[in-house]
C-alpha cells in the first residue's frame, strides 16, 4: 500500500490532525508506526467503545498502524470509577477486551496494556515528574476535562496527577500517534510541547470525533458527547433491538436540521463507515425504499425534507442493531463473558 493510501485511511478516522505534514512523513518513513488510545475501565460498553472504536481500528490496522489499547485501571482508581474498587476496575477491563473481541477486533494485531503495570516502574515516574516540572499548575487544572472533571480547587489532590501521568503514557508506550478522541486534545497537545524535554519527537495527534448523546440540542460538543453514566442518552452493546429502536425514536432529530443532529452523526460515522452505503426502508405511499451511496446524499435529502426523521431513525436503528447483535449474543452465550458482564452491570457507576 502506498503512503498516500495509508494517509487517507488514517486521516479518515480524524476530526483533526496535528499535523498532516508530520503524519505524511511518519507514514513515508516508518513501515509500522505505533498509535494508542486509552480507556478507564468503568461501566457497560456503549457505541463509542463497543462499535465506533472497533471501526476506527479496522481502518488503522489496514494502514499498517500498530495499535496499543491502554486499559487505564490506575486512572479509573484515581478518578474513583466503580467506587475506586481496583478489583472491579480490573474485571471491567477484562470485560472491555471481551467486547472488542466480539466486535471483530483482531486482538492478535492489537496490544493490550494495563496501566497498573507502570506504577512500579521508576522510569515511568521519572517521566511524570519531568512533565510536571515543565508545565504550570494552572495548565494541569484546565486539563482535568480529559478525566471528565471540572477545574475546581475542592477536587481531591490525586486528580492533579492525572494530566502528567497521561502525558507520560505517550512516551512510556513509545507511540508515534496519539489516536484518541477530541476530548483528550489538551493532554495530547501538552505531550507535543514537552516532548523535547524528554528527548523525544512530538507525537502526531489524530483526534477522532466524539459521538453525541441521543438528546443533544445545540449544546457544545464536550457537553453533548454520549456518556455511559446517562443511560437514556446512550446506546449500549447489550441493548436489545427493541431498546435500540425505542431510544432512537426519542432522539433529537428535527426535520431538515443537519447540524448537531445525533442520528445523522451515527449514520455518517458508523453506518457509512461500516457498510459504505445505507438503505432506508419505507412504505410505497411514502416514496418506497431509497438507497444512499454516500453520506452527502443522505444529508442532502434530509435537509430538503425528502427524508422523514422517523424513517431515518428506523434505518439507523436497524444498522446499529446489525453491528451490536454479535456483541450482544457473545455475552449471552459465552459463560466467561457473561460473568464479566454481570459483575460490571451490577456495579455502581460513578462519574
**pLDDT tens profile 259-300:** 999 999 999 999 999 999 999 999 888 889 999 999 999 999
Axis-axis angle for helices 335-346, 86-102 (nearest 10): 130
| Same-domain pairing of 188 and 226 | no
User: Tell me, what's the pLDDT at 33?
Assistant: 97
CATH assignment of the domain containing 270:
1.10.240.10
**What is the block-wise mean pLDDT of the chain (351 residues), using blocks of 10 residues?**
93 97 96 96 94 96 96 92 90 96 92 95 96 89 69 71 94 97 95 94 97 73 63 89 96 94 96 97 89 97 96 97 97 95 81 52
Nearest residue to 171 via CA among 141, 147, 199, 143: 199
Q: Could you tell me if residue 80 is inside a domain?
A: yes
pTM for the full predicted model: 0.90
Last residue of a domain, one of 207, 237, 259: 207
Three-state secondary structure call for residue 205: strand
Q: Could you tell me if residue 269 is inside a domain?
A: yes
Q: Could you tell me if residue 168 is inside a domain?
A: yes
Q: Could you tell me if residue 13 is inside a domain?
A: yes
With a CB cutoff of 8 Å and minimum separation 6, the contacts of 339 are none
User: Tell me, what's the pLDDT at 351?
Assistant: 52
Whether the CB-CB separation of 261 and 254 falls below 8 Å is answered with yes
User: Tell me, what's the pLDDT at 232?
Assistant: 76
Question: Cell 455518517 belongs to which residue?
Answer: 268
- Our CA angle for 111, 51, 319, nearest 5°, is 150
| Same-domain pairing of 276 and 185 | no
Rg, the chain, Cα only: 21
User: Tell me, what's the pLDDT at 222?
Assistant: 42
DSSP letter string, 279-300: EE---GGGT--EEESSHHHHHH
Last residue of a domain, one of 207, 242, 275: 207
Structural domain count of the chain: 2
| Same-domain pairing of 225 and 146 | no
Q: Could you tell me if residue 161 is inside a domain?
A: yes
* Angstrom distances, CA of residue 48 to CA of 53, 54, 160, 180, 201: 6, 9, 26, 11, 30
| % the chain with pLDDT above 70 | 92
| Same-domain pairing of 267 and 337 | yes
User: Tell me, what's the pLDDT at 348?
Assistant: 63
Residue 284's domain comprises 221-346
- φ, ψ for residue 35, nearest 5 deg: -120, 165
| Same-domain pairing of 172 and 197 | yes
Three-state secondary structure call for residue 232: helix
User: Tell me, what's the pLDDT at 148?
Assistant: 62
CATH assignment of the domain containing 180:
3.40.50.620
User: Tell me, what's the pLDDT at 215?
Assistant: 86
Q: Could you tell me if residue 178 is inside a domain?
A: yes
Three-state secondary structure call for residue 236: strand
Amino acid at each position: 500500500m502506498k503512503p498516500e493510501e495509508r494517509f487517507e485511511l488514517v486521516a479518515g478516522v480524524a476530526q483533526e490532525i496535528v499535523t498532516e505534514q508530520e503524519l505524511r512523513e511518519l507514514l513515508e518513513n516508518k513501515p509500522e508506526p505505533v498509535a494508542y488510545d486509552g480507556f478507564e475501565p468503568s461501566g457497560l460498553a456503549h457505541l463509542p467503545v463497543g462499535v465506533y472504536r472497533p471501526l476506527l481500528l479496522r481502518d488503522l490496522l489496514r494502514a499498517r498502524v500498530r495499535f496499543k489499547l491502554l486499559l487505564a485501571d490506575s486512572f479509573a482508581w484515581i478518578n474513583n470509577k466503580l467506587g475506586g474498587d481496583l478489583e472491579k476496575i480490573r474485571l471491567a477491563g477484562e470485560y472491555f477486551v471481551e467486547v472488542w473481541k466480539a466486535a471483530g477486533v483482531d486482538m492478535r494485531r492489537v496490544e493490550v496494556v494495563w496501566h497498573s503495570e507502570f506504577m512500579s516502574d521508576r522510569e515511568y515516574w521519572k517521566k511524570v515528574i519531568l512533565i510536571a516540572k515543565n508545565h504550570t499548575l494552572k495548565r494541569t487544572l484546565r486539563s482535568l476535562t480529559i478525566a471528565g472533571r471540572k477545574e475546581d480547587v475542592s477536587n481531591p489532590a490525586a486528580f492533579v496527577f492525572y494530566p502528567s501521568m497521561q502525558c507520560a503514557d505517550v512516551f512510556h508506550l513509545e507511540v508515534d500517534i496519539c489516536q484518541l478522541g477530541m476530548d483528550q486534545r489538551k493532554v495530547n497537545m501538552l505531550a507535543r510541547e514537552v516532548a523535547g524535554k524528554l528527548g523525544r519527537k512530538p507525537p502526531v495527534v489524530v483526534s477522532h470525533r466524539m459521538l453525541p448523546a441521543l438528546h443533544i440540542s445545540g449544546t457544545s460538543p464536550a457537553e453533548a458527547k454520549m456518556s455511559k453514566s446517562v443511560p437514556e442518552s446512550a446506546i449500549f452493546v447489550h441493548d436489545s433491538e427493541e431498546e435500540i429502536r425505542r431510544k432512537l425514536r426519542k432522539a433529537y432529530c428535527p426535520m431538515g436540521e443537519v447540524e448537531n443532529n445525533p442520528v445523522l452523526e451515527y449514520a455518517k460515522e458508523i453506518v457509512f463507515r461500516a457498510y459504505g452505503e445505507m438503505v432506508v426502508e419505507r412504505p410505497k405511499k411514502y416514496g418506497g425504499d431509497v438507497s444512499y451511496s454516500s453520506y452527502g446524499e443522505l444529508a442532502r435529502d434530509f435537509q430538503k425534507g425528502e427524508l422523514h426523521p422517523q424513517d431515518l431513525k428506523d434505518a439507523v436503528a436497524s444498522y446499529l442493531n446489525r453491528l451490536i447483535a454479535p456483541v450482544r449474543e457473545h455475552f449471552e452465550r459465552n459463560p466467561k463473558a457473561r460473568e464479566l458482564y454481570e459483575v460490571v452491570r451490577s456495579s455502581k457507576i460513578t462519574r
